Structure 1
């Protein structure tokens, strides 16, 4: 078919230089054992593992109490959402400011409820 073209030389259309030489004949008998290190991804969607096994494997990486030490930024973010930005000398984002306001409002509501419980216990 490549010889039927009327454009250019027929050698342009042959892919002989891109194919392996059949005379050399590579040995593929142990290709299965060769595999590359760390080539398997634990969360591969085409893997044959069950959902339970996938969840068990994914658990430790998603668990916040897995023994990993929290960075200073993570600790600060748990106390005050605006602290990580302030630690870096930046102005906190609008979302962080809103989160801080919500936390303050919730703390105020809880304090009022605790005070009301304390008053009701005295009487």
Structure 2
């Protein structure tokens, strides 16, 4: 009966998450390097950062422009691009959006604004 159980064989318990560490190994770990980058959530109510630190962070974020990807830039120029890049016909809505965008650009060119 030894070596068998209702939850599996002895291979389940070998050197996986069942490993116990010695106290010396735990205490010598570099404690200050254990944190993960970006581990603080901005809206976490249990975060112990001071209000001044939170305000400074928000001011810094407000000054930084939000990066736009190349794909987002291309979609801003051509609404039918995503469908065509996948080999599909653009939807009616995408075609209408592109037509409206082109008409507005032409109108602005005629008025000399662009």
Scaled by the length of structure 1, what TM-score is found?
0.44
Larger proportion of helix? 1
Bigger radius of gyration among the two: 1
